[in-house]
Amino acid sequence: MQTILKPIEITNDRYRLGYHVAAKSGWINDPNGFCYFKGYYHIFYQHYPFAAEWGPMHWGHARSKDLVHWETLPIALNPGDKEDEDGCFSGSAVVHNGKMYLIYTGHHYYPGDDNPDHFWQNQNLAISEDGIHFEKYENNPIIAQAPEDNTQHFRDPKVWYENGSWYLILGSQGNDNLGRVLIYRSDNLIDWNYLGPVAKSVDLKKEGYMWECPDFFRLGDKQVLLMSPQGIESDGIHFNNENETGYVTGKFSYTDNKFERSNFQELDSGHDFYATQTLLAPDGRRLLFGWMDMWGSKFPEKEDGWSGALTFPRELSLKDDKLYMKPVDELKLLRKEELLKGKSDITGDYPLEFSSKQYEALIELNTKNAAELGFVLTDLNNNKILQFKYSKKNNHVSVVRQGNDGVRETIIRKTDNLRLHILVDTSSVEIFINDGEATFTERIYSEDSLKFNLLSDEEVSATYDIYQLDTNAIEY
């Protein structure tokens, strides 16, 4: 008799987020299928509804008219069919002829083989007329197997339309055990011609053995390849997570499939940022979601019946060959009231007197007289939950959070005014520095409303504006 699984239930909401997309319960990781369809933004995500741990992947689903108030929809894709027996892995979505097309990876283990590294993957299609109910294409798979010079790692299709054709890139690993991205072309989203690799890892230690979740788009006068390499070794202050997400930029020729590109750069310097996906919005903005967690993390919320969330949606821009990220402007729609506004001369620890678990903080610190400054979040027992510091001597920025998972660091341009845009939401902190030149994405865990103190080793002027944000922006 077949066992019918029931979705896991939430047992405690102490860490639940107020305005970040998460599942009703259970596990989520990569954002998928970010698109705009019939008046709604849609975001899907890798999801296992039956436990707060990774399992056979489904596609969870939410939609929004304004990018900030989200309605949870029924699960869009369930695994178990011939083309996706052991998981509906990551992919993307496009709109064509009034329908939404999901293009995703089918995951398959070999029968009787208990080794999780023994698998194969193909690419599949599902179609919807209403953006809620999806039918898998009857002749799946649309790409049956990887090229002969590839390993079993062959996943995460991203599709777009250009110059009268559909294009699809895939994350993969060549037989030389180096990460790479492959490209295909189609006239109808069903029949795909393999064109070859677009780019590949130049060094195992520096660029990794497998490139996941690729995304390829034009921004400004450059082509940007976003991806999440596995296996990059740490290099001083860089690449200190289990896996990384970053980008290369360059010039791409559709005529001969050549991409002259830069070296790999990190996109976010925090502990908890992976597997991005972007959308070209109707108004021309390039928008981004990421998974607001990291492989190898402890996920304290697991014991409460859920695990994982997506970042707040961000807008990308390219300046001097560097990607900047900032929260989408629609964030202002979440503001419920102004909690605190002021200007002060500060030194040492300077408390900002307000109480909230879901807020937006706009901070500007004049750095002329100080060597080090920043802020710290502490619980009611004055334990440091997260500390942010900027050192003017070397333009070094660091974030340390409670626990033994190390410091995260980066270097920014020299500045006399440090502008911080900070989003706090129950168990997460996102820090945007100087209009998005650098960002840190962090999960934090405390049941207290954390105290917010500015820090400076010498007297500096500070301005601050704190807003309470909507605590019920996600409709489950």
Q: What positions carry a catalytic annotation?
A: 30
Residue 422, both tokens: 């900070």
Beta carbons within 8 Å of 314's beta carbon, 6+ residues apart: 287, 288, 289, 290, 325, 326, 327, 328, 436
| Dihedral pair phi/psi, residue 300, rounded to 5° | -55, -25
DSSP β-ladder status, 70-77 and 474-475 = parallel
With residue 207 as reference, give the H or E element that holds it. helix 204-207
Residue 215, both tokens: 């995304």
Residue 425, both tokens: 């939401």
Edge-first strand listing for the sheet containing 99-109: 88-96, 99-109, 119-128, 135-136
Distances (CA, A) of 239 to 218, 228, 391: 25, 11, 20
Q: How many residues comprise the chain?
A: 476
CB contact at 8 A, 72 and 474: yes
DSSP β-ladder status, 246-253 and 258-261 = antiparallel
- The torsion of the CA quartet 213, 239, 272, 363, rounded to 10 degrees, works out to -120
- How many Å apart are CA 364 and CA 358, to the nearest integer? 20
The residue among 429, 428, 424 whose CA lies nearest residue 467 is 424
CB contact at 8 A, 92 and 169: no
Beta carbons within 8 Å of 81's beta carbon, 6+ residues apart: 136, 140
Edge-first strand listing for the sheet containing 26-37: 306-307, 26-37, 40-48, 58-64, 70-77, 474-475
Cα angle 462, 467, 473 (rounded to 5 degrees) comes to 150
